[in-house]
Structure formats: C-alpha cells, structure tokens
Structure 1
Amino acid sequence: MIILGHGIDLVEVSALRRWIEDPRDPLLPRCFTAEELAEIGGGPNRIERLAGRFAAKEAVLKALGTGFGAGVAFKDVVVRRKPGGPPDVVLSGGAALAAKGLGITCWRLSISHAGGMAIASAIALADPAQTDLSSTGPK
C-alpha cells in the first residue's frame, strides 16, 4: 500500500460539550448520522466518544486535503467501529469523490482520548497496482 495522505486532529472535550449543548447550533444531527449516534450510545463516556469521532472526521478530511465545505459535508465521513475491531471510515458524497480522484482505496484510523482531549489520526492508502509511482497522483 502507498500512503497518499495523513491527517491528525485534536479536540478539547469540554469545548465540544459546549458546542453540543448550544441550542443555536445543533451539531449532533448536522455532523453525525443516526447510525453513528446509535453506535456511540450513551453513558458517562459519551462525550469523549463523540469528541473522538469528531476528531476522526476532521483527520480524514485533512488527509483528503478538502476540509468541510466546498461540496463536502460532515455526514460525508462516517466513522464506525465493530466490537473488538479498529475504527473504520466510510465515505459518501463529496468526500467519496475526492478520495476516488486521489486514488484512495482504504484507510487506517486511530482514535484516542485522555485528559480532556480526543485525538485522531487518519492515513489514506492506495493500492500500488492502481497508482502510477512515477507521478504524485493515481493512474
């Protein structure tokens, strides 16, 4: 596999909590799909899990080089995790188009939170059989 991009993001959990609780800006329905919210669940660590997922979405878009806006929405990046498995990235819309244009075929994602902070690292990978090694982009 060939690394085509890397993104990292750090989120202050208390800042995300204030943003979520602000009635003027409904972050949860704008940023997370119903499936993501169901998977994140409730409980005392919910805000940390939300912060980690938010950081992961930001890290993915940094790896893509797009950021949010310009045809890429928060919900275009879905972060999910099967029990006992690593987090996974599923793209749609503008994010999927950007990934396809770059030749990205898979992702490696890591999420962690401690000390009131959440961090995520996303690595965008390409299959070398479908990438022209003589240039900086895919075939």
Structure 2
Amino acid sequence: MIKGIGVDIVDLARFERQVERTPALIPRLFTESERTLPVRSLAARFAAKEALIKAMGDSAGVTWHELEVVSGVGGNPEFLLQGTALQALAARGITSVHLSMTHDAGVACAFVVAEGDS
C-alpha cells in the first residue's frame, strides 16, 4: 500500500551557486561518500532527500546524513537509511522506499514512493 509520494526539482545552476557561496552546505547535507560526486549528482541526491521527506509527510526525526543515496543493484539509486530516519519511517508504517532520479536540461529531479503493509 502506498503511504506517501514525494517529488522535488532542483535548478542545477542555482544549486551550484549556493554551494560556491556556502561550501559548508556539502558536509551539512551529504555523507562522506556522497561528497565525492559531481555537483549535478549532489543536486539529484538533495532532490531525492527532499522527495523522501515529502513522502514521509514531514522531517521530524530525520537528519540529512541518515538519508544517504547509494547505487544499488544494476546502478539504480536507492536509499541507505540509518538511525532515527529508520525509526521515523517505521513510526509512519513505511516498510520500503522506491527512488528514481535524473538530471538533464539544467535541472535535477527525484521521485519517491513510500510503501507499507497497511
């Protein structure tokens, strides 16, 4: 059963300007392994984290580093969730999360579907 959906779009040029103006955003928003990626990939991961928060309904009990986006089977993106983020999902009855991301034509976009048993 679908518990929530979320979508987010990030303007790549604007995201890059923000990162240049405030370099501290990178360690604040991304895990150590995510930080090695190009800016367009970081923008897509930021969109993914925002989309997950929307699918959950709010960000209570969630920190940015607990929402890591990794390459899963076949290179498809998926979340590696930890700590209080896992607890927050469980409290909302969410048992699985599906993620799709893209970056093209100056934007990054992510779509999340959160599912639960009932």
* TM-score normalized by the length of structure 1: 0.77
Tell me the distance in 2 between the aligned counterparts of 1:95 and 1:78: 10
Larger-gyration structure (1/2): 1
- The number of residues matched between the two structures is 118
Which of 92, 107, 118 aligns to 2:82? It is: 92
Tell me the distance in 2 between the aligned counterparts of 1:52 and 1:79: 10
Return 5+ residue gaps in structure 1 as ranges: 41-45, 132-139
* Partner amino acid, structure 1, of 2:108: A
Return 5+ residue gaps in structure 2 as ranges: none
Instruction: Look up the SS of the partner of 1:104 in the other structure.
Output: coil
Give yes or no for contact 1:80–1:88 (8 Å, CA) kept in 2.
yes
* Partner amino acid, structure 1, of 2:52: V
Which of 99, 104, 108 aligns to 1:114? It is: 104
Give yes or no for contact 2:44–2:102 (8 Å, CA) kept in 1.
yes
How far is the alpha carbon of 1:55 from its aligned partner? 0.3
Which of 50, 53, 57 aligns to 1:61? It is: 53
Tell me the C-alpha RMSD between the 2 structures. 1.7
* Partner amino acid, structure 2, of 1:85: G
How far is the alpha carbon of 1:84 from its aligned partner? 2.8
* TM-score normalized by the length of structure 2: 0.89
Higher relative contact order (CA 8 A, sep 6+): 2
Tell me the distance in 1 between the aligned counterparts of 2:35 and 2:63: 17
Give yes or no for contact 1:61–1:95 (8 Å, CA) kept in 2.
no
Please say if 1:33 is aligned against 2:23: no
